[in-house]
Amino acid sequence: MISGIRTLSARTPRPHSLALRTGIRHHSIVGRVACTQNQQHVEEWQANLSGVDEERLQGPRGNWWWTGKNPAELAGENGKLHSLPQPVVRNVNSDMVQAYFDNTWTLCEVLFSSLQGERAFYQPPYHHLRHPMIFYYGHTATFYTNKLNVAGLLDGGIDPYFENIFEVGVDEMRWDDLSKNDMLWPQVGEVHAYRKETYKAVSDVIARHVGDGKRITPDDPLWAVLMTLEHDRIHLETSSVLLREMSLDSLRKPDYWPSIHPSGKTMNAVDRPHVGVDYPLNQLVSVDASTEPVHVGKPEEFPTFGWDNEYGARKVGPAQSFEASKFMVSNGEFYEFVVDGGYRKDEHWTEEGSNWRKFRNAKWPTFWSQNGPSGKHEYRLRTIFEEIDMPWTWPVVVNKHEATAFCNWKATRDGRDGVRLLTEAEHLLIREPEQRPPLVDASLDPALVHGGDTISDQAGVSLNLAFGSESPVDYHMESSTGFCDVTGNMWEWAEDDFNPLEGFQVHPYYEDFSAPCFDGEHNMILGGSFVSTGDAGANLYCRYHFRPHFFQHAGFRYVVPSIRESFPGEGSVKKLGETSSNPASNIYETDELLNQYFALHFGQRPNVVDATVRAHPARPDELLDFPKRCANLLNNLAGNKSRVLDLGCAVGGASFELTKWFDRVTGVDFSSAFIDAAESIRNDPTHSVRFSVPVEGRIRREHISAELDPLVDASRVEFMVGDACNLGTNEELGGQFDAILMANLLCRLPDPVKCLNDLGRLLKPGGCVLLVSPFSWLNEFTVESKWLQQGSSDSKTRLDEIMAMNGFEKVYDEDMPLLIREHERKYQYIIPSATAYRKV
């Protein structure tokens, strides 16, 4: 989405052009706005079809298309453009970085040269979970400009309007959370012109700043150059998936794009495959995991660019031994699941997976094309640019819901308990031993040594665009551990949630690359695919993720554990919400944290407090009901009481309290789970909440029930998912506020100063903001350079200075202690500072 706000109760249509809201006018867009008044009979996205670029976007692209190097200058002996290996940055020069930039930039333009006509650029994908292709054509270019500007390597941008609308991508929360895609975008020619200027600017930065023999480290401004290159490569792969989802009549295979694997052209068409004939029998290979621990994480001194989530460390195990499938699951093996009614039988599917399946009416994998009557089960395969006879030996492309359903089906059919997906630690164990972290030398990583033109033949892996498609699961030699395609060919879905390693720190140039996805709703994908290049999945330290309903060039292999597990991957899986004292626990973030916040927000009231805070003679009752005390204090301080913003509202305790005095209350939180919970309470006719609390060990007190105060008017409150560091415009928020509450939020923001600087525009003159914070700074949330505490200056002093510079006067200052339950006999006693400021 363009803004940082998502309304859950109702999606507000965006204005026709962000340019009209920011006061910036692009002639082509303004001209088209007038036309939309008479185009109500067509979908809104079709207003982008001006016809200006239509003719030259048909057929093969001419030389005009290439804004950097012409691919003819870069292609190999076979006339195809493959990826170069990712640079080792211990001893770089400008020629090396420029060559990698040219390869990166031109691969992207080769891919986008496949789009035929304006419709291919502007029509949203069928699932509406991503933007149309015009966004990604501009997004990667503006990312170069924005990040090099942040790093101080560029003095300002090229076009502020483009650098605004193309800045933020979209990752909808659920498979049914559909984007309207009603934006009026710039014309293709305008974005093309912007890309041309960007290419020149980046080349100039490389020439001026990259010296011979340079070593680039994460604290070097040139790290931003490497970051932009690898970001471009991420979108090379994700865009190729979007193309694979498009109608073939909107595409033309580019001449320079690598060909599909030769087996896709030479196999005989077979409608009903037979194991051992048309696809290989998948065998289980034993792995001894009991001898030594697995190490996860990339050392800071390793000489390649890395994303923030790669750094840090975790030691797993020794764990239980297991068996894993030698091959990734092939189309032929998955066919057995399809013809056995696997897509019809709810018992194989998780609840969420079943809901997704029914919503999409899925009956077979998304890239299989029906080739006959529905009951005959005859299929062809859609590749990125072609539809071919089904290659039964190729790995099947599925999402995590489908992979899990297959595992459950296989467990039932074969009578083997606990068949599941790999964990990250297990995936490392099936690698060649010398390719497990920590690597002794960069030369042990094939993606850092071989480009796509040699990596398949010389290293036995399909990465760096060796081919333009997946390849047979048994094409490459098995490793010494007995497995094929541990890296490359296709990503593998994992049981693990995407998670930070110990010592994780956000990087100041891209603070929200990983951290927003440590939410328990993104699953890890492992090993890279045929399109993966560089640090976008090809190298051995990559750690990536997707939501379980998304499609990538991803498949899976299955595991049979040696012992019965109480949950999938017990002993090695990483699920968010784990405790440091029990790293193998399987407490999910959404359950554990929701219960903890329910107890804090609604469980410390007189009629329920004895269930959440142990009753005893010295119980500090004055510490209880923290959200209510915050709301009461803000009520006493505020003047006008028309609108109030509860920023960082969590599950809504203070938001509901504020409805006693304010006409309209807006609660905003970054966590969709918290907002969903608050919405549920608001929409429940009884306005009640049920939760549990830990008692001791694994004992919990269940079914605690609390109701809102009868004086609360829940109809006055609305809840939104939003980023406090990237809130929308005042218009998107419904106007300015009379008061703002920020309770226990400031020290959990990636850029607290940015948030504080934004408060002035959100408040009406005379409005009051109440900031409550213990100033518990952690690198996990805020990089140290952005803490309010700097040097000998403490956070309270710095906070006063920042608010004064933004036109506020301090009107109140006290401590606001609170109590958070850990279990029956242990509580956190926290003493936040509560400071109020009035806008002068």
The two three-digit tokens of residue 750, written as one number = 């990636």
Residue type (1 letter), 540: L
Per-residue pLDDT, 781: 80
Residue type (1 letter), 290: S
Per-residue pLDDT, 322: 95
pLDDT at 423 over 60: yes
Alpha carbon of residue 642 to chain centroid: 37
Nearest residue to 327 via CA among 289, 282, 296, 381: 282
Residue 829 CB contacts under 8 Å (≥ 6 apart), including other chains: 623, 817, 819
Nearest residue to 379 via CA among 247, 404, 387, 278: 387
Across the strands, what pairs with 525?
493, 544
Contact 630, 770 (CB under 8 A): yes
Across the strands, what pairs with 739?
644, 768
> Where in the sequence of the chain do the CATH 3.90.1580.10 domains occur?
283-334+396-561
Per-residue pLDDT, 653: 96
Higher local confidence (pLDDT), 609 or 555: 555
Alpha helices in 296-439 (DSSP H): 331-339, 351-360, 400-414, 424-429
The two three-digit tokens of residue 822, written as one number = 């850990």
Contact 808, 760 (CB under 8 A): yes
Per-residue pLDDT, 267: 77
pLDDT at 408 over 60: yes
Across the strands, what pairs with 645?
666, 740
Residue type (1 letter), 606: P
Per-residue pLDDT, 36: 37
DSSP single-letter state for residue 245? T
478: three-class secondary structure by DSSP = coil
Q: How far apart are CA 551 and CA 398, in angstroms?
A: 7
User: How many residues does this entry show for the chain?
Assistant: 840
Band (pLDDT 50/70/90 cuts) for residue 31 is: very low
Torsion of CA 35, 38, 39, 45, to 10 degrees: 30
Rounded average pLDDT over 343-362 = 94
Q: How far apart are CA 232 and CA 101, in angstroms?
A: 10
Picking from 328-342, 522-536, 607-621, 759-773, which range would have the lowest pLDDT averaged per residue?
Answer: 607-621
> Where in the sequence of the chain do the CATH 3.40.50.150 domains occur?
589-839
Q: Which tens digit of pLDDT belongs to each residue from 582-605?
A: 333 333 234 677 888 999 999 988
Rounded average pLDDT over 46-69 = 96
Determine phi and psi for 677, rounding to 5 degrees: -65, -45
Q: Which CATH code of 3.40.50.2300, 3.40.50.10190, 3.40.50.150, 3.30.360.10 fits the domain covering 589-839?
A: 3.40.50.150
Band (pLDDT 50/70/90 cuts) for residue 570 is: confident
Band (pLDDT 50/70/90 cuts) for residue 352 is: very high
Band (pLDDT 50/70/90 cuts) for residue 176 is: low
Rounded average pLDDT over 472-494 = 97
Rounded average pLDDT over 463-488 = 97
Nearest residue to 177 via CA among 704, 694, 721, 642: 721
Mean pLDDT of the chain: 89
Per-residue pLDDT, 10: 29
Alpha carbon of residue 633 to chain centroid: 37
Q: How far apart are CA 695 and CA 603, in angstroms?
A: 15
- Angle at CA 10, nearest 5°, toward 688 and 5? 95
Q: How far is CA 685 from CA 564, 649, 707, 714, in A?
A: 43, 21, 11, 10
Q: How far apart are CA 532 and CA 536, in angstroms?
A: 6
> If you search the block for the tokens 């009991």, which residue do you land on?
290
Residue 658 CB contacts under 8 Å (≥ 6 apart), including other chains: 631, 634, 635, 644, 646, 665, 717, 741
Across the strands, what pairs with 368?
381
The two three-digit tokens of residue 52, written as one number = 């200006």
Rounded average pLDDT over 518-539 = 95
Q: How far apart are CA 703 and CA 301, in angstroms?
A: 50
Q: Which tens digit of pLDDT belongs to each residue from 220-272?
A: 999 999 999 999 999 999 999 999 999 999 999 999 999 999 999 887 788 89
Residue type (1 letter), 692: S
Band (pLDDT 50/70/90 cuts) for residue 42 is: low
Band (pLDDT 50/70/90 cuts) for residue 38 is: very low
Beta strands in 243-386 (DSSP E): 284-287, 294-296, 314-316, 322-325, 368-370, 379-382
Band (pLDDT 50/70/90 cuts) for residue 578 is: very low
Q: Which tens digit of pLDDT belongs to each residue from 105-140?
A: 999 999 999 999 999 999 999 888 889 999 999 999
The two three-digit tokens of residue 590, written as one number = 């959404």
Alpha carbon of residue 161 to chain centroid: 25
Higher local confidence (pLDDT), 38 or 597: 597
Band (pLDDT 50/70/90 cuts) for residue 181 is: low
Per-residue pLDDT, 169: 62
Alpha carbon of residue 807 to chain centroid: 36
For residue 507, count other CB atoms closer than 10 A to its CB.
18
Residue type (1 letter), 193: A
Determine phi and psi for 422, rounding to 5 degrees: -65, 155
Q: How far apart are CA 29 and CA 162, in angstroms?
A: 12
Q: Which tens digit of pLDDT belongs to each residue from 749-772?
A: 989 999 999 999 999 999 999 999
Band (pLDDT 50/70/90 cuts) for residue 611 is: confident
Rounded average pLDDT over 776-794 = 87
Contact 314, 501 (CB under 8 A): yes
For residue 495, count other CB atoms closer than 10 A to its CB.
24
Q: What percent of the chain has pLDDT over 90?
A: 72
Picking from 64-78, 244-258, 284-298, 485-499, which range would have the lowest pLDDT averaged per residue?
Answer: 284-298
CATH superfamily, region 283-334+396-561: paralog of FGE (formylglycine-generating enzyme) (3.90.1580.10)
Nearest residue to 229 via CA among 104, 327, 345, 95: 104
Per-residue pLDDT, 35: 38
Pairing assessment for the beta strands 643-647 and 664-669 based on DSSP bridges: parallel
Band (pLDDT 50/70/90 cuts) for residue 614 is: confident
Per-residue pLDDT, 337: 98
Determine phi and psi for 168, rounding to 5 degrees: -115, 130
Contact 396, 405 (CB under 8 A): no
Q: How far apart are CA 608 and CA 604, in angstroms?
A: 6
Classify each residue of 692-705 as buried b or exposed e, where b means 16 or more C-beta atoms within 10 Å of its C-beta.
bbbeeeeeeeeebe
> Count of alpha carbons within 13 Å of 159, Cβ hemisphere only?
23
Per-residue pLDDT, 170: 52
Alpha carbon of residue 231 to chain centroid: 13
Rounded average pLDDT over 690-696 = 86
Per-residue pLDDT, 615: 87
Rounded average pLDDT over 446-456 = 98
518: three-class secondary structure by DSSP = coil
Rounded average pLDDT over 643-657 = 97
